[in-house]
Structures are given as C-alpha cells and as structure tokens.
Amino acid sequence: MNILNIRFELRNPFDRWDFFKNLGCVYGKLWRFKAWELEHSYYSPLLLDFELCWTMAQDHAGFEFGIGILGYGIHFRIYDTRHYNYDTKQYEEPDFSEYFEIDL
C-alpha cells in the first residue's frame, strides 16, 4: 500500500538508445528485518528525475528517495526484508530451517 508516492521525471524524447547501467551499490542491515541500500546508476533517457515513496503492508515496504540529472541518479532506500502475506495481513517470518537440515 502506498502511503506517499511523489514522482517527477523529464525524459529526452529523442533518445532511442534506452541504456541502463548500475554504477555502484552499497547496502547493509540496520536491525533484524530492516536494511538500507544506496545505488548510483545511469539511465540514458532521463534528463531530470525525482522520487519520494513510502509504502506499507507489501513486500519490501519502506522509504525510498531518488534524484537524478542528465541520466545519472542516486537512489536511497530503507526497507523491510520480509514478504507480506495478503491473506493473513501480516509479514511472513523467514524460515531457513530447510537450508540447515542434515540427513545422516
């Protein structure tokens, strides 16, 4: 569910290349189910780009902020690492037990 979603972009109508390249990404864990990510990228058709987003009750919900000029952009987000179960309206606890089972 989007709580806040503001996006503005100005595209180059003459760009037929439509080239995307991830120039770098750093990330880390904040606490048990929260993580952060900072990404730098290039996307050729964008002249100007601004994004502010806050989501809840969905997969990887959280806060996102992005800004870009002449194709180069920076995107920052803080998000929940869990998936959301729409039937029970709760986040699913990850179960890693199947990865650690040992059959003797």
Calculate the average pLDDT of the chain: 91
Does residue 96 have a pLDDT over 80? no
What are the boundaries of each domain within the chain?
Answer: 2-93
Q: Which pTM was predicted?
A: 0.81
Annotate 14-62 with DSSP letters as a single string: T-----EEEEEEEEEEEETTEEEEEEEEEETTEEEEEEEEEE-SSTT-E
* CA–CA gap between residue 17 and residue 43 (Å, rounded): 10
Render pLDDT for 39-89 as a digit per residue (tens, 0 to 9). Answer: 999 999 999 999 999 999 999 999 999 999 999 999 999 999 999 999 999
Using alpha carbons, select from 12, 2, 7 the residue that is nearest to residue 45.
Answer: 12
For residue 98, report the phi and psi dihedrals to the nearest 5 degrees: -65, -25
Contact 55, 3 (CB under 8 A): yes
Phi, psi of 60 (to 5 degrees): 55, 40
How many DSSP H helices and E strands does the chain contain? 0, 8
